[in-house]
Amino acid sequence: MRSSTLLLGSALAGTAFAAPYRAASRLDLPHDVSGRDQACNGFSELCGRKYSDVTFVGAHDSAFVGVLPMDNQFEDVADQLSQGIRFLQAQSHSKNNAIELCHTSCIIKDAGPLKNFLSPIKSFLDGNANEVVTLLLTNGDGISVSAFDAVFQAIGLASYAYVPSGVIAFDAWPTLSELISSGKRLVVFMDYHTDTSKVDYILDEFSFIYETPFDTTDPKFAQCTVDRPPNGDTTKLMGLVNHFLDVEIDIFGEQILIPDTLKTGKTNSLASITAQTSLCVSQHTRTPNFVLLDFISVGDALKAQKQLNGL
């Protein structure tokens, strides 16, 4: 996640970087599951799998929609969900005692209040009874987890959230079918400043997940290093691969990173995604559970997800 990247949108607005290249390829829609008794996230084969045995390809910085250098997606969250994405990551920041979806700073990019981001997720879950969605929020400003809970409760989203018995083992997660049957079809992680004694459904990301490095500028993604948590045990944690490419540019003598939109089609190709996840398998013995992409409507996100799940 690009919480530490400096993006000077106002300085870049007049440059060539302000109009990212948009590839023509689009996401495949979920596969036809007609004639089957139940489909979980579009496939009957996933129903009996534990949540921790499923791979979700998701939208990095899913709230930041547009064509400027501080944007990471072309379609909004409602469209991302309708296209088949079931893993959404978003940055939160404090602004005027409220939780806003801001890119590094609310001066650079303010995508609006948390409520506006969560409401389409609630609507999607209301209308799609066989879908499990994962949400990963960053909390670099150390906002009280109770403040997040207040927003979740206000829009009725908290009732969908799964609550484990504690920091459960990798193989102790319920199956997708069990999550669906219980009505607990939203799994919520947060990177920092969680407190399950206060809000039991907002889970500490790094108690369950390890992440590879972000702000990558190597188009080969030739690593599957554990970046966070420090000394994370990959035999006990689910894996998250940050598979989005940045490029370094010079603005008024300062080096900054922005999304490398010119290479999005290649970065989001089946070959590129599976090359990095295969490297993770060779190093850590298991297929990663989560893969984050920029501009997820470009390339082969769902093709990769299908292949990674052996479908």
Q: Which tens digits make up the pLDDT trace of 118-138?
A: 999 999 999 999 999 999 999
- Across the range 180-195, mean pLDDT stands at 99
H or E element: which one contains 166?
none
Query: Which of 251, 242, 113, 130 has the alpha carbon at shortest distance from 179?
Result: 130
Instruction: Please pick, among 60, 93, 193, 284, the residue that the annotation labels catalytic.
Output: 60
Q: Are 170 and 236 in contact (CB under 8 A)?
A: yes
Residue 19 lies in a domain: no
Residue 71 clears pLDDT 50, i.e. is over it: yes
Residue 34 lies in a domain: no
Residue 30 lies in a domain: no
Mean pLDDT over all residues of the chain?
90
pLDDT band at 25 (very low <50, low <70, confident <90, very high): very low
Q: Rounded distance, CA 261 to CA 97, Å?
A: 34
Instruction: Please pick, among 31, 93, 103, 243, the residue that the annotation labels catalytic.
Output: 103
**pLDDT tens digits for 156-185?**
999 999 999 999 999 999 999 999 999 999
In 3-state terms the chain splits into helix, strand, coil percentages (rounded to 5) of 30, 25, 45
Query: Which of 25, 69, 28 has the alpha carbon at shortest distance from 265?
Result: 25
pLDDT band at 37 (very low <50, low <70, confident <90, very high): low
Q: Rounded distance, CA 281 to CA 273, Å?
A: 13
Q: Rounded distance, CA 148 to CA 152, Å?
A: 6
Q: Rounded distance, CA 247 to CA 236, Å?
A: 33
Structure confidence at residue 34 (pLDDT): 38
pLDDT band at 253 (very low <50, low <70, confident <90, very high): confident
H or E element: which one contains 111?
strand 105-113
**Count of structural domains, the chain:** 1
Residue 122 lies in a domain: yes
Is 284 one of the annotated active-site residues of the chain? no
Query: Which of 293, 262, 222, 275 has the alpha carbon at shortest distance from 60?
Result: 293
Residue 6 clears pLDDT 70, i.e. is over it: no
Residue 137 lies in a domain: yes
* Strands 290-293, 238-242: pairing kind: parallel
pLDDT band at 255 (very low <50, low <70, confident <90, very high): confident
pLDDT band at 190 (very low <50, low <70, confident <90, very high): very high
Q: Rounded distance, CA 239 to CA 18, Å?
A: 33
Q: State the CATH number of the domain containing residue 286.
A: 3.20.20.190
Residue 219 lies in a domain: yes
DSSP sequence for 215-247: SB--TT-------BSTT--TTTSEEEEE--BEE
285: left (phi over 0), alpha (psi -120 to 50) or beta: left
Q: Rounded distance, CA 36 to CA 207, Å?
A: 36
Residue 20 lies in a domain: no
What letter represents residue 97's amino acid?
N
Is 93 one of the annotated active-site residues of the chain? no
Residue 32 clears pLDDT 80, i.e. is over it: no
Residue 125 lies in a domain: yes
> pTM of this prediction?
0.90
Domain with 248 in it: 9-14+41-308
